Structure formats: structure tokens, C-alpha cells
């Protein structure tokens, strides 16, 4: 190998998506690498969802979409179409990884991560999988089998893995973007038009929202009027213009909150 080849920074690949929870922690890792002086190329293999792509590309990371299908434990006719998409995603990811030849693949989970992890294993590319939740999801359980390392946020998560895999588990915590700790409260209040004399209460059920959280908000709203200003992220598919109508000085509902999250 030439001296230039030896000096070149390695290419790193990331995968994950479907929800913000399968993207933002991975972006936090990329940001930490850059702040530590990493100068190499970073790419992200994700779903065809426009929101996933926009979140990643906004951070200056190359994005490569692949076909993806949901992983369900239940019996459904949708599983047939999704099975074909998963297979197509595998071959698409394999071609991509064979061409890019990254030094490693970092998986943040979600159904879209399974084909790239399987493809990486077939090509001899080491991959690491990270689980943020206490209970490992189906994608993590599938990816863990051939992972070089299984990274978890909680000690008890490792104990939930099959015994042969527990030795590969390491508790590292959950990556969080530094920007979340450098928000501007005044700017946040201005963004949601919150009065300065009331405390703000923020309800959020993840990037896709939570029907249960939304029901809780509806139940507690009457008791908080005049006592607090409510900010409520409903989720794009769960936003109801009538049910989640703004009320000046008391309630502000948004289907999705992006970079303003740190200010709120």
C-alpha cells in the first residue's frame, strides 16, 4: 500500500432510521467523531423516507437510500410485500458496501438497519449495533448475532440478550447531541409564543408521536390551564387539527419539532 493510502482517513458507514430515535443518536456519534478530529468520509444508509434523509443531510452526511420493509412479529398480508423489500434492501446495501468498502458499519437500529448489517457480515465488514431502549428491539436482536460489538444504554439490556451474545455486549450509555444542552430558553418561548409568566410543560412521544401520550395530554389539559403553558409534539400522522388546535397563552401543538427542540 502506498504511503498516501496508509495516511488516508477511513470511511465510516452508519445505518438506521424509521424514527428519530434510530437516527439522532447516530448523528451524535458522528458529531463526537468530528469534534475529536476525524476527517474521513462518513455515509449513512437509510430508508426512502424524505424526513430521514433531510435529518441526516442537514448534518452534512452523505445519504444513500435503500428499499426497506417493516419487521413484524404478527401475521399480516403486508409481510409479503415487506419481505421482498427487505431482500431488495439487502442486495442494494451489499452493492453499496462492496463499492464503498467502509472500515466499519455502525447500526442505530430500526428495520432499515437489518439489510445493511447482513450485507456487511457477508462482505467481512465489521459492524457495531447500538440499542437505546431498555428492551432490545427486533432489529437489534437480529443484528446482534454477527455484530462485532453490541452497545447498550442500560446494564439490564445486556441480560436480555441470548446467553451466547452477552459477552459481546458493552454498556456505553445513549449518545446525545451536544446541541441539546446549548438551547436558548427565550428563543424557545418565542418559537411557541409562550408567555413569560408561566412555566412550560413539554409533552413528546418521540419523532412519530405516541397515541397514549396524546391521550394523556387531552386528559390533563383542563387542570393545567392558567397554571402552565403546554407544548405538545403530536407526531405527524397523529396530528388532528381540531383536537390539537392552538390556544393562545396556554397550548401549542406541533406535529414535529426539529432543531428547535434544544430551545424548548
Residue 247 dihedral angles phi and psi, to the nearest 5°: -130, 110
Q: Is 154 helix (H, G, I), strand (E, B) or coil?
A: coil
What confidence score (pLDDT) does residue 215 get?
A: 92
Q: Residue 15 is inside which H or E element, if any?
A: strand 12-15
pTM of the model: 0.78
Please state, in angstroms and rounded to a whole number, the distance separating the CA atoms of residues 139 and 191: 36
Q: Residue 121 is inside which H or E element, if any?
A: helix 114-123
What confidence score (pLDDT) does residue 208 get?
A: 77
User: Which domains are delineated in the chain?
Assistant: 3-178 (3.40.50.2000), 183-262 (no CATH)
Helix/strand/coil percent split, the chain, to 5: 45, 15, 40
- Which strands, in side-by-side order, build the sheet including 200-204? 200-204, 229-233, 251-254
- Is the separation of the CB atoms in 234 and 218 below 8 Å? no
What confidence score (pLDDT) does residue 205 get?
A: 83
Return the C-alpha cell found at 55.
435529518
Crossing angle for the helix pair 50-57 and 24-35, to the nearest 10 degrees = 20
User: CB-based contacts of 11: which residues, under 8 Å, 6+ apart?
Assistant: 40, 41, 42, 43, 100, 101, 102, 103
What confidence score (pLDDT) does residue 3 get?
A: 40
What confidence score (pLDDT) does residue 2 get?
A: 40
Per-residue pLDDT of the chain (264 residues; tens, 9 = 90+): 444 455 578 999 999 998 888 999 999 999 999 999 999 999 999 999 998 999 999 999 999 999 987 765 655 666 676 778 889 999 999 999 999 999 999 999 999 999 999 999 999 999 999 999 999 989 999 999 999 999 999 999 999 999 999 999 999 999 988 777 888 999 999 999 999 999 999 999 877 788 999 999 999 999 999 999 999 999 888 888 888 989 999 999 998 887 788 888
Amino acid at each position: 500500500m502506498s504511503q498516501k493510502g496508509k495516511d488516508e482517513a477511513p470511511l465510516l458507514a452508519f445505518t438506521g432510521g424509521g424514527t428519530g430515535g434510530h437516527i439522532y443518536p447516530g448523528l451524535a456519534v458522528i458529531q463526537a467523531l468530528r469534534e475529536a478530529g476525524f476527517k474521513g468520509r462518513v455515509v449513512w444508509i437509510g430508508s426512502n423516507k424524505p424526513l430521514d434523509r433531510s435529518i441526516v443531510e442537514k448534518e452534512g452526511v452523505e445519504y444513500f437510500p435503500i428499499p426497506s420493509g417493516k419487521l413484524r412479529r404478527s401475521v399480516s398480508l403486508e409481510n409479503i410485500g415487506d419481505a421482498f423489500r427487505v431482500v431488495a434492501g439487502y442486495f442494494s446495501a451489499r452493492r453499496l458496501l462492496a463499492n464503498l468498502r467502509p472500515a466499519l458499519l455502525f447500526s442505530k437500529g430500526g428495520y432499515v438497519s437489518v439489510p445493511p448489517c447482513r450485507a456487511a457480515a457477508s462482505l467481512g465488514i465489521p459492524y457495531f449495533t447500538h440499542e437505546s431502549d431498555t428492551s432490545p428491539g427486533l432489529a437489534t436482536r437480529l443484528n446482534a448475532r454477527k455484530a462485532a460489538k453490541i452497545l447498550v444504554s442500560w446494564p439490564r439490556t445486556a441480560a436480555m440478550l441470548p446467553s451466547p451474545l452477552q459477552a459481546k455486549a458493552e454498556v456505553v450509555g445513549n449518545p446525545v447531541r451536544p446541541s441539546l444542552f446549548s438551547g436558548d430558553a427565550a428563543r424557545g418561548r418565542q418559537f411557541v409564543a409562550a408567555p413569560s409568566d408561566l412555566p412550560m410543560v413539554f409533552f413528546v412521544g418521540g419523532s412519530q408521536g405516541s397515541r397514549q401520550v396524546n391521550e394523556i395530554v387531552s386528559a390533563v389539559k383542563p387542570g393545567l390551564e392558567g397554571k402552565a403553558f403546554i407544548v405538545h409534539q403530536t407526531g405527524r400522522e397523529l396530528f388532528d387539527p381540531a383536537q390539537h388546535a392552538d390556544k393562545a397563552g396556554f397550548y401549542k401543538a406541533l406535529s414535529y419539532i426539529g432543531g428547535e427542540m434544544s430551545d424548548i
